[in-house]
Amino acid sequence: MVHYKIASMPGDGIGPEVIASAIEVLKKTADVCKTFTLEFEEIPWGTAFYKSTGAYMPADGLTTLKRFDAVLFGAVGAPDVLDSISLWGLLLAMRGPLQQYVNLRPVRCLPGIQPAVRSVKPEDIDWVLVRENSEGEYAGQGGRSHRGFEWEVATEVGIFTRKGITRIMKYAFETAQSRPKKHLTVVSKGNAQRYGLVLWDEIAEEVSKEFPDVTMDKMLVDAMTVRMVHRPASLDTIVGTNLHMDILSDLAAALAASIGIAASANIDPTRTNPSLFEPVHGSAFDITGKGIADPLGAIWSAAMMLEFLGEKKGSSLIYAAMDQVCKDGNVTGDLGGKLNTKQVTEALVKSIA
């Protein structure tokens, strides 16, 4: 029997609502599998913690997290705190230092759910989006001078390193290689951005030579939005920079159904540090406390966590149960259903057997 210690960090807004669902589903899955046990410890970091202590996480927060096998995260962000403070205070304060340099976002249409756009057929979308998660446009380089003057200036510098690009490209090619289509699309903007993104393109070419069985094509990010809508079946594995994939993954989720089902994993492939699993959506202030949040994004992320820990049977059980509730129409309003968060969770837990 393998024992896993999981840090559960519900955070803000609908985070606690959807993480409670994910934990219920994980507990049932462990009961059914009988090959592993899960121990959850709740970590109370988030905006309430910030308001009482002045920081989103304690100074020794990273040391605390390193005791765990994985982190299950909800969302961070509050209406009365600047988003740049909450995001850098918690999520980006974990992703970078824990070297979770891969952000993995699978997207597929769940059975019975109609894609948002008429040109997209459900079977057309079965993608894995690989986002560079440690540098690029979100490296935190820049500053502000002459505050308040007419000539106030701010810089936001993108950082692209040979090491950073090479490791994300390798991961993306390996991911593409593991899938039936063995096809990778490299997203870039190496025409207008002529330094960092040109290095990005060059390294993609270099790494592609190590993977002769994977076909690669390249897309400029603007044209990529059009291809995702008009020729979705031509895509499989997609790799892009931190900013580009942040945007494209929201588009992908919306095309496939709803941001409420989108799942993600922040992975340290070297397994030196725990990886962090979280729904793609944020705090969703507009529906917080109403009990109607779609829990599937958090549940899907929980399944990715089991998969990463090596519990393939457990993750398969959850994926099958997700398909079942969608087929049965047991879904929340964002997917056209009538159930609330609790009812979807109950239906899903019931179908794990």
Question: Which residues in this chain contact Mg ion in the complex, by CB under 5 A?
Answer: 246
Choose one: 172-180, 204-212, 222-230, 286-294; the region binding ligand NAI (CB under 6 A). 286-294
Sole binder of ligand NAI in the list 260, 274, 314, 337 (CB under 6 A): 260
Binders in 12-31 for ligand NAI, by CB under 6 A? 14, 18
Pick what 46 binds: Mg ion, ligand NAI, none; C-beta below 5 to 8 Å, kind-dependent: none
Calculate the CA dihedral of residues 342, 10, 104, 93 and round it to 10 degrees: 170
Indicate which single residue of 76, 104, 221, 265 sits in contact with ligand NAI (rule: CB under 6 A). 76
Q: Of 167-175, 238-246, 287-295, 308-316, which part binds ligand NAI (CB under 6 A)? A: 287-295
Is 83 or 202 the residue whose CB approaches ligand NAI more closely? 83
Cα–Cα nearest to 162, from 201, 190, 131, 105: 201
334 binds ligand NAI (CB under 6 A): yes
Q: What does the alpha-carbon distance between residue 120 and residue 228 come to, in Å, rounded to a whole number?
A: 9
Which option in Mg ion, ligand NAI, none does residue 42 bind, with CB closer than 5 to 8 A by kind? Answer: none
Give the shortest CB-250-to-Mg ion separation in angstroms.
6
CB under 5 to 8 A by kind: which of ligand NAI, Mg ion, none does 351 bind? Answer: none
- Which residue do the tokens 């894609």 mark? 115
Report the alpha-carbon angle 56-57-58, nearest 5.
135
- Are the C-beta atoms of 137 and 200 separated by less than 8 Å? no
- Residue 91: contacted member of ligand NAI, Mg ion, none (CB under 5 to 8 Å, by partner type): ligand NAI
Cβ–Cβ < 8 Å for 187, 167: no
Q: At 221, phi and psi to the nearest 5?
A: -60, -35
β-pairing, 237-240 with 215-220?
A: unpaired
As measured in angstroms, the least distance from the Cβ of 269 to ligand NAI is 20
Nearer CB in complex with Mg ion: 268/278: 278
Separation in Å, CA 280 to CA 266, 295, 321, 332: 11, 11, 20, 17
Q: Are 110 and 258 in contact (CB under 8 A)?
A: no
Residue (of 158, 109, 103, 169) closest to 136 by Cα position: 158
Would the CA dihedral through 110, 111, 116, 117 be positive or negative?
A: positive
Place of tokens 């993104």: 197
The residue within the footprint of ligand NAI, chosen from 94, 169, 187, 293 (CB under 6 A), is 293
What's the closest the beta carbon of residue 312 comes to ligand NAI, in angstroms?
26
Closer to ligand NAI by CB, 77 or 190: give it: 77
Q: Is 294 in the site for ligand NAI (CB under 6 A)?
A: yes
Q: Among residues 291, 292, 352, 295, which one has the least CA distance to residue 324?
A: 352
Q: Does the protein bind ligand NAI through residue 6 (CB under 6 A)?
A: no
From the list ligand NAI, Mg ion, none, partner contacted by residue 167 (C-beta under 5 to 8 A by kind)? none
Q: Which is nearer to Mg ion, 56 or 68 (CB)?
A: 56
- Footprint of ligand NAI (CB under 6 A): 14, 18, 75-77, 83, 87, 91, 259-260, 278, 281-284, 286-287, 293-294, 297, 334
